[in-house]
Structure 1
Amino acid sequence: MFKIVELFSGDFEEKVFIHSENLKAILIPKESASRPVENPRDVVEKMLNMPVDSKSLELLLSEDSRVSIVVDDATRQTPTKFILKILLKKLEKIRVKKKNIVMQIANGLHRLTTLEEKKKIFGMEILEKFEVHDNDTKNDQYQYFGETSKGTPLFFNKRVTSADLIVTIGMIKSHSFAGFTGGAKSILQGISNEKTVLSNHRFEFIEYPNGILGDAEKSMVRQDMEEAAKKLPVFIINVVLNDKNQIIDVVAGDVIGAHRKGVEAFKKMAEVFLKEPMDLVVVEGGYPGSINFYQALFGCNVVLTTPKPVLKENGIIILFAQCKEGMGSDIIEELFTTYRDPKKVLKYLKASSPLPEQWAAQFLASFLLRARLIVITSNTLLKDKLKNFGITCFNSTQEAIDNFIAENEKINVAVIKNPDFLIPNLE
């Protein structure tokens, strides 16, 4: 008896038939914990009035206060426009002057935001009232706040740090090496300069298990981020979304305390467990994975860098990802073209100063040493490049699965749908 599994990545789709004796699990977010709140506006307002481990905005601000509002860039699905309208109404009630409000995008080292992206994030009503700024590491000025206990030099955008209160709007989901998004991540890396971000993203912090998915306490990157964020007067507003981008929870208040409340809500939806490790796991690329290989690669973390990974050592990962924009990372191409051997790539990165996007090459090298990576993509040019790196590409997921079942008819298979909203672990 066969079970049908439908895979989606951007415009890339495939129906796969897997024998029920081989298919042990199809992992999806828990439906019972994924239900959207009935009235999101009421929930946001309630959280602003009853923040976690923090005074309310009315007690933190006065009519003469300066406020920096820091929001996610276009790489997140955060309902920024919706939350901003509620926040601005609250600030107006407190009589905070419009001229004392700064709008800042927390794009960190990401590219600058386009006008169309700003329209999508803020809406025209807000764009017409406020000037919106990117974190432009080449042209902005940064204020030095010393070092963290781990030696990260802290340079934060002066435009933001001049405020009496920094309100960050973000979303909480799992993250490949910071445990989760949201919280302090809006500060480091959101409004930091390159030196700060690269120091925080150094090789040893990212290497598993120091860099871990789904554990905020054990992630060295997050520990460093949160120590950094505590240098500033930060008040967070973070949402938890389900895989349909509906709000299932809202938290507000302290950059650590409120964040952990949101993490709890996300984990109730995202944590799933298997009784035994799998021989083969199919990972669906989802929306980020439909863009390029760099983004899709992070989907592999859900089977390799969680607290108790579900893939056997030297098991098989089939990554189903459209990758219509190709590789998406110069550093992957440069390092794997130069060194070929994943061990040599890791040796180079470990001995070198941190580089932008090195974490992608580091993850790929680590994955190739711990698993057999198979990529299913519609991008022919990318296939040729990946083959040169020693990565196998099949024409379809069905062909790949049939090939491995032919080698071992008792192979255990699991399918991970939408990895951004899952934290799979062994029981």
Structure 2
Amino acid sequence: KTGQPLNLHAATASALANPFASPPLVEMARRGQKVCIVFTDGTRDVPDEVLAGGMLAELARAGVRPEDILLLCGVGMHRPSTPDEKLAKLGAPIVSRYRVEDSRATVPSELVELGEFDGIPLSVNRRAADADLLLATGIVEPHQYAGFSGGRKTLAIGAGGEATIAATHSPAMIDRPGVRLGNIAGNPFHEAITESARRAGLRFIVNVLKDAAGRVVSVAAGEPTATFSTLVEAARPLYECKVDRRFDIVVAGVGHPKDANLYQASRAATYVHFAPEQVLKPGGVLIIPAPCEEGVGQGVGEQRFYETMRSQPTATAVLDSIRSRASQAGEQRAYMLAKVLQECRVIFVGTRCPEAVAACHMTAADDLDQAINLARTWTTSDADVLVVPHSLLTVLRRGDSAQACPS
């Protein structure tokens, strides 16, 4: 669904001047403080140059010196960000004036342990936790496990330690009641990252909400819980979509930046299949147009996903393998995708890594016509087709509260 686009700079300035459940940032900061701003990596389409830039302007007004500020890119288990990506994210004026570094989840000396919560070991980047004032950016959008992304997740997962990422993304967590797309209440994943951010000392966030056209329609700032809750309520009518039946074929659009690699683009299959309301018939086909110009993905998590998928002869064998041992961060994507593949087929369209698609027990097609024709041979010649243009921004439901999906 589309919303009313905003003037991003003006909306950010207004949000910072009128924060939720918090004094303005200029009143929280003071000269001599060490400040850390955790921002998102290239897999999240967040206007960090404007959001971080707005916070930096407030910090300057409060007298905080540039040399006392660290901008930390929360890459989680993804690959490190490149210098060009940092420039694209933050802009040359910020990169040239401030320290900009990546988090490193696999380096124990760069982490601080925060104890356990509900059996989950909590740890975050030491430079973030040691800051006198800890801030974060983010985007509120549907998320497979957290219910909605954004809020504290930029810190707790983006700048979290490998043990935290592995435990929150493990089969044991994924299979727990409440861990569901679009669900916040009683969600153990959401509760764990909330507690991690609280213990780390996250005090202030600036998050955005985008519509189906990719336009920012809301900016909110302030105390993490109040800010996140406000944007989630605004997100539901934008992202929830009503369906009245099940379909033989679902075409699930991905879009930039998640279509850059197979690991990220495969979310389309799990977002559709594990939606609050099942929309694909048993034995149906999911079609995902995605170029995947980075192949499988270059990060540690992406490579673990690929090795786990291709090392087993079937999707069932993938699940058996993961369940038989302690899983590693990145393998959760293999676990979720394998569960999908037990019940339906998946076709990737226009991908630049067809061999990797095949190795992951899926099918590659050159174009959408070829994919539809192939899907019809697997289902029925008069197959019922649902098109979900923005599958990663869509929560499929039944009921009158959601907007109808096109079919």
In which range does the TM-score fall when normalised by the shorter chain? 0.7 to 0.9
> Number of aligned pairs?
392
Alignment match, 2:383:
411
Alignment match, 1:113:
81
Q: What is the one-letter code of the residue matched to 1:420?
A: L
- 1:300 paired with 2:269, answer yes
Q: What is the one-letter code of the residue matched to 1:352?
A: R
Residues 218 and 395 (structure 1 numbering): CA distance in 2 closer, same or farther, change over 3 Å? farther
Alignment match, 1:15:
none
Q: What is the one-letter code of the residue matched to 1:370?
A: E
Q: Hey, what's the Cα distance between the residues in 1 that align with 2:105 and 2:170?
A: 18
Q: Hey, what's the Cα distance between the residues in 2 that align with 1:376 and 1:133?
A: 35
Q: Alignment partner for residue 161 of structure 2, among 193, 200, 207?
A: 193
Q: Hey, what's the Cα distance between the residues in 2 that align with 1:249 and 1:53?
A: 17
Alignment match, 1:372:
345
Contact 1:213 1:301 in 2 (8 A): no
Contact 1:209 1:305 in 2 (8 A): no
Alignment match, 2:405:
none
Alignment match, 2:403:
none
Q: Alignment partner for residue 343 of structure 1, among 286, 309, 316?
A: 316
Contact 2:12 2:50 in 1 (8 A): no
Give unmatched runs, 5+ long, in structure 1.
1-29
Q: Alignment partner for residue 288 of structure 2, among 319, 329, 333?
A: 319
Q: What is the one-letter code of the residue matched to 1:345?
A: V
Q: Hey, what's the Cα distance between the residues in 1 that align with 2:273 and 2:176?
A: 9
Larger deviation, residues 335-344 vs 278-287 = 335-344
Q: Hey, what's the Cα distance between the residues in 2 that align with 1:390 and 1:164?
A: 48
Alignment match, 1:141:
110
DSSP-derived class of the 2:334 partner: helix
1:332 Cα offset (Å)? 4.2
Q: Hey, what's the Cα distance between the residues in 1 that align with 2:360 and 2:74?
A: 34
1:327 Cα offset (Å)? 3.2
- 1:358 paired with 2:337, answer no
Contact 2:252 2:388 in 1 (8 A): yes
Q: Hey, what's the Cα distance between the residues in 2 that align with 1:165 and 1:123?
A: 23
Residues 55 and 62 (structure 1 numbering): CA distance in 2 closer, same or farther, change over 3 Å? same
Alignment match, 2:354:
383
Alignment match, 1:12:
none
Residues 108 and 399 (structure 1 numbering): CA distance in 2 closer, same or farther, change over 3 Å? closer
Q: Hey, what's the Cα distance between the residues in 1 that align with 2:31 and 2:358?
A: 61
1:385 Cα offset (Å)? 4.7
Give per-residue Cα distances to partners, 1:7-66, cap 9 Å, x unaligned.
xxxxxxxxxxxxxxxxxxxxxxx13xx2212x3333222222322233332443333433
Alignment match, 1:72:
40
Q: What is the one-letter code of the residue matched to 2:333?
A: A
1:213 Cα offset (Å)? 1.8
1:218 Cα offset (Å)? 4.7
Q: What is the one-letter code of the residue matched to 2:394?
A: L
Give per-residue Cα distances to partners, 1:381-421, cap 9 Å, x unaligned.
x4345445543444433234345556634432111112232
Residues 378 and 183 (structure 1 numbering): CA distance in 2 closer, same or farther, change over 3 Å? closer
Alignment match, 2:30:
62
Alignment match, 1:101:
69
Give unmatched runs, 5+ long, in structure 2.
400-407
Contact 2:45 2:257 in 1 (8 A): no
Alignment match, 1:212:
180
Q: Percent identity?
A: 26
Give per-residue Cα distances to partners, 1:349-377, cap 9 Å, x unaligned.
12322213102211221011122223333
Q: Alignment partner for residue 12 of structure 2, among 36, 44, 51?
A: 44
Contact 1:376 1:394 in 2 (8 A): yes
Residues 370 and 134 (structure 1 numbering): CA distance in 2 closer, same or farther, change over 3 Å? same
Q: Hey, what's the Cα distance between the residues in 2 that align with 1:426 and 1:412?
A: 18
Q: What is the one-letter code of the residue matched to 1:206?
A: I
Q: Hey, what's the Cα distance between the residues in 1 that align with 2:122 and 2:312?
A: 33
Give per-residue Cα distances to partners, 1:280-317, cap 9 Å, x unaligned.
11112322454222221101123112222322333221
Which of the two has higher C-alpha Rg?
Answer: 1
Residues 306 and 114 (structure 1 numbering): CA distance in 2 closer, same or farther, change over 3 Å? same
Alignment match, 1:3:
none
Q: Hey, what's the Cα distance between the residues in 2 that align with 1:336 and 1:110?
A: 18
Contact 1:319 1:376 in 2 (8 A): yes
Q: Alignment partner for residue 172 of structure 1, among 140, 150, 160?
A: 140
Alignment match, 1:231:
199
TM-score, L = length of structure 1: 0.84
Q: Hey, what's the Cα distance between the residues in 2 that align with 1:52 and 1:233?
A: 17
Contact 1:289 1:299 in 2 (8 A): no
1:170 Cα offset (Å)? 1.3
Q: What is the one-letter code of the residue matched to 1:107?
A: V
1:116 Cα offset (Å)? 0.9
Residues 331 and 101 (structure 1 numbering): CA distance in 2 closer, same or farther, change over 3 Å? closer
Contact 1:50 1:56 in 2 (8 A): yes
Q: What is the one-letter code of the residue matched to 1:280?
A: I
Contact 2:155 2:197 in 1 (8 A): yes
Alignment match, 1:131:
99
Q: Hey, what's the Cα distance between the residues in 2 that align with 1:66 and 1:54?
A: 19
Q: Hey, what's the Cα distance between the residues in 2 that align with 1:157 and 1:147?
A: 16
- 1:398 paired with 2:369, answer yes
DSSP-derived class of the 2:256 partner: helix
1:243 Cα offset (Å)? 4.1
Q: Hey, what's the Cα distance between the residues in 2 that align with 1:102 and 1:404?
A: 50
Alignment match, 2:402:
none
